[in-house]
Chain A
Amino acid sequence: MSPKATPVWDLWPGDLQWQPMSPQLRKVWVLRSWINLFFLAVAAAVPLTIWLGWEGPLWALGGYAVLASLRSWAVARTVATWGYAERDEDLLVRHGLLTRRLSIVPYGRIQLIDLSAGPIERMFGLTTVQVRTAALGSTTEVPGLDPPVASALRDRLAVRAAEVREGL
């Protein structure tokens, strides 16, 4: 791996135990991207049919297949970049393929912890943990956890947040 390709989070001083997301997350997100693309394909099929006649839907279908396969590849690689690490004082979350993002949330500043699960996530039995601080617009998400892992994480975060409460 060339130095330029090293993700920014690998430069963090000290050892971090990165926890991966559930392997099911890839399926969820790939499925979600397929569904989103499907709506796009349907929307594109209408003008194509008017323009090309019966060939229109075929073109839409072909475009859909190509885009969906490309998208699944990209999504699969993106999912691999997600990870979280719990340290003594803070929670680290990393993600992003093109734009790398590393968020560090101190336990003492956590205001609110949400568990949520969308319909596709529920099909695969996954849960998303959202952590909010007093800074607006800084919701940190940890998506795609197995429900027991998610509620355990939530409980640990809540306990630590109550222990080291630092306020605004």
Chain B
Amino acid sequence: MSDEPAPSLAEAPYGPEPSAPTAPPAGVQRQRLHPLTPLLESFRFLTAAVAAAGLQAFTSRNFLFAIYIALAAAVVGGIASLIALQYRGFVIWGRELHIYGGVFTRSHRTVPLDRLQSVDLARPIRARLFGLAQLNIEVAGGDGTDAKLAYLKADRALELRAELLAIAGRPPAEPAPEPAEGAVPDRDAGLLVPQLTVKRLALASVLEALPVQLTAILVFGTAFAVTGSIFGFSTVATTLWVGFFAPALLGYLQSTVAMVNRFLRNGRFRIGRDGTNLLIQRGLTDTSHETVPVDRVTGVSFDEPVLWRSRRWRRVEVWTAAVAQQSATAVKSTTALPVGEPDQVAVVAAAAVPDLPSVFATERPPRRARWRMPLRWKRTGAALTDRAFVVRHGYWVNTHVAVPYARIQSVKVTQGRVQRMQGLATVRALAAGGLGHDAVALHRDVGEAVAMAAELRERADAAAALERPRLS
């Protein structure tokens, strides 16, 4: 610790000085959102209302009542959305984007375009029906600064995206608006990995969901057969149906829906690299464009579901420090490759983090930890590689997590009661972002764990020193 007096922090400007007045004057013409916006935003509510009215009409044969409900909803909704639209809009003023909203509680969000991370174009299916799109605007610096502009006409959204990126002064390597879908003659041009075939994606989705579904069917089938043979099938069926089978069936359905969703989300997956960004386009029904700045990647995870193992397929996910946080609790990572062969995985990994290998030799925890995780033990491990801290865990989905040393925030060593009796400890390297975004090396020998933590800290400092200093 030096004895020099503290530098006066107030004088050092943290961030660029605002050159223009921060708020636009009241008279500036606001740009409006598309008039269909309120309708699309209350899409789920509308569907529910229609379903409820339909059900009502169907069960009670009271068509008049249903018509009243529909009329009332249409009138109230129409008036409310017309009023709401008057107060919603946005203005590009200087180097800032101002977004207005709210009728009773006015909101005014200022997005500093200097700190713009990315502008993603998303097209949910309900918006695609009307040729609309939304822009997700992402700014460095955590919560509350991300903004959404929904909905705009698709071509207007592309124009606006280009405009915002131009104001932000992104390097010219950033392409002008991406070509419209279908306009590219060679569809694999400029891609890191050839576009995924539907067949492989479908097979991969099924194989991933199969273990869970098979186990569910087996468990409940045997439970039903055993209890049925003891108590008689009819009583079991009626008594257990409500309390047990219905929820189980619901869970089963949910897993199926999740599988289908994943398939739809990752259909037509294309990943390209442009300068310092990864550009991702995906989606069969809801298309979305995502931009992942490579210098913001805090970690890469490689998932290998148990049935993919024989095919040597893996999925690559990329964690970033600033992801558009729709909800605060959701831990979001971006899929960089839904399923790929070893060489494709290697290409994507190296594109996400320079020089990151995709195959790691991890060291298992000591044998005395084996009884604590009999299935997983063989597939658990940790390694300090050249560039990244790599941990491996999971049986049904075996995951390798690689966190580059320069992205390690803090390191924790914990030792539980039983671990203490066994002389084990767990090392945790935390990366920026949500909970669960950390690399956990389970059950290391205690001496090794502490040495590993010390080594991680040293390497993190060394790696961070090599990088150019950055704000935020």
Which chain A residues have a beta carbon within 8 Å of chain B's beta carbons? 3-5, 8-9, 11-14, 86, 89-90, 96, 98-106, 108-109, 133-138, 140, 155-156, 158-160, 162, 165-168
Contacts and interface: CB of A to CB of B under 8 A. Distances in A.
Interface in B320-355: 321-322
15 contacts: A8-B413, A8-B446, A8-B449, A12-B450, A14-B454, A99-B414, A100-B413, A102-B412, A103-B410, A104-B453, A104-B457, A106-B410, A136-B433, A138-B430, A156-B1
A13 B296 contact: no
A104 B411 contact: yes
A121 to B, nearest CB: 25
A88 to B, nearest CB: 8
Contact of A136 (B9, B434, B460, B461): B434
B423 A102 contact: no
B328 to A, nearest CB: 9
Contacts of B433: 134-136
Contact of B409 (A4, A96, A133): A133
Nearest to A11: B450
A102 B453 contact: yes
Contacts of B413: 8-9, 100-102, 104
Contact of B410 (A14, A135, A167): A135
A167 B472 contact: yes
Nearest to A165: B469
Contact of A135 (B6, B437, B467): B437
A168 B415 contact: no
Nearest to B5: A159
A133 B430 contact: yes
A102 B456 CA distance: 14
Interface string B208-240: 000000000000000000000000000000000
Contact of A99 (B411, B416, B421, B449): B416
B108 interface: no
A130 to B, nearest CB: 13
A67 B460 CA distance: 45
A168 B432 contact: yes
A168 B457 contact: no
A135 B470 contact: no
A168 B412 contact: no
B55 interface: no
A168 B472 contact: yes
B142 A13 contact: no
B298 A168 contact: yes
Contacts of B451: 13
Contacts of A106: 409-410, 457, 460-461
A34 B187 CA distance: 70
Contacts, number: 125
Contacts of B431: 135
A8 B425 CA distance: 8
A136 B431 CA distance: 9
Contacts of A166: 406, 464, 467, 469
A96 B413 CA distance: 12
B148 interface: no
Please classify the interface of chain A as helix (H, G, I), strand (E, B), loop, or mixed, using the class held by over half of its residues: mixed
A73 B321 CA distance: 43
A133 B68 CA distance: 56
B393 interface: no
A118 to B, nearest CB: 25
A134 B454 contact: no
B142 to A, nearest CB: 7
Contacts of A90: 457
B444 to A, nearest CB: 11
Nearest to B4: A159
Interface in B116-144: 142
A8 B469 contact: no
Contacts of B61: none
B415 A135 contact: no
Contacts of A137: 434-435
B414 A12 contact: no
A106 B417 CA distance: 27
A-B pairs with lowest CB-CB distance, top 8:
A134-B432, A135-B430, A168-B321, A166-B464, A100-B415, A167-B470, A102-B413, A135-B409
B98 interface: no
Contacts of A96: 414
Given A11-B446, A106-B410, A135-B437, A89 B469 contact: no
B471 interface: yes
Contact of B9 (A4, A138, A162): A162
Nearest to A159: B6
B407 interface: yes
B273 to A, nearest CB: 21
A49 B431 CA distance: 53
Nearest to A163: B7
Interface in B375-415: 406-407, 409-415
A3 B6 contact: no
B413 to A, nearest CB: 4
A97 to B, nearest CB: 10
B356 to A, nearest CB: 18
A27 B323 CA distance: 44
B447 A11 contact: yes
Nearest to B472: A167
A77 to B, nearest CB: 14
